[in-house]
Amino acid sequence: MIEIAVGDGIVLREPREDDADRLFALIDANRVLLGRWMPWLDYMRHDGDSLTYIRYSQEGNREGRFLNLLIWVDDEPAGVLCYFALEPAQRRSEIGYWLGQRWHGRGIMSRACQALIDYGFGHLNLYRIQIACAVDNLPSRALPERLGFTFEGVLHGREWVGERVLDHAIYALLLPAWRARRPA
């Protein structure tokens, strides 16, 4: 069971089946916010759907295909942070994230992302970590910018969210740049 202590009451943890009800309640309470940017919301209509997601996450995490973690703040589920797909041969992955509205504006996601990045370079042997944000999603773009990622350009028409197709701003952080910023 992977568990990453971020500090200040923030913990990243693999989801468990008994998290399903609380995860669904969190998603349901943030449906409007998440529906603007996340393509999977239509698959999360009933509380059984969060259990399906958790079982899918457990299987993929176990097999090393991706890494889906719940963000806990003071023992409450607050959001999700993940490596979408792990490609060991290519040593690259992409981070995805969302956080319930009531936890916004406190630096929780920035610190959680930094911990996941450290875990990716330090324990998963990654060389390149990417973050892709809809070009108009400014709170999301602020994260890789705050964390020292390099803006590489825009991929057009990369993701459908309902009837809208989004252009993505692509950011990346490479292992040498991460190492250079680590305290000695």
Positions that interact with ligand COA (CB under 6 A): 33-34, 37, 97-99, 104-110, 133, 137, 139-140, 143
Please give the radius of gyration of the chain, using alpha carbons only, rounded to the nearest integer.
16
Residue 61 CB, shortest distance to ligand COA, in Å, is 20
Contact 27, 47 (CB under 8 A): no
Residue 132 CB, shortest distance to ligand COA, in Å, is 7
| Number of residue whose CB is nearest ligand COA | 107
What is the amino acid identity at position 25? A
Tokens of 162: 């309902």
In sequence order, what are the residues at sequence separation of 6 or more whose Cβ sits closer than 8 angstroms to the Cβ of residue 11?
3, 4, 5, 71, 72
Residue 35 CB, shortest distance to ligand COA, in Å, is 9
Residue 106 or 128: the one with the smaller Cβ distance to ligand COA is 106
Residue 18 or 170: the one with the smaller Cβ distance to ligand COA is 170
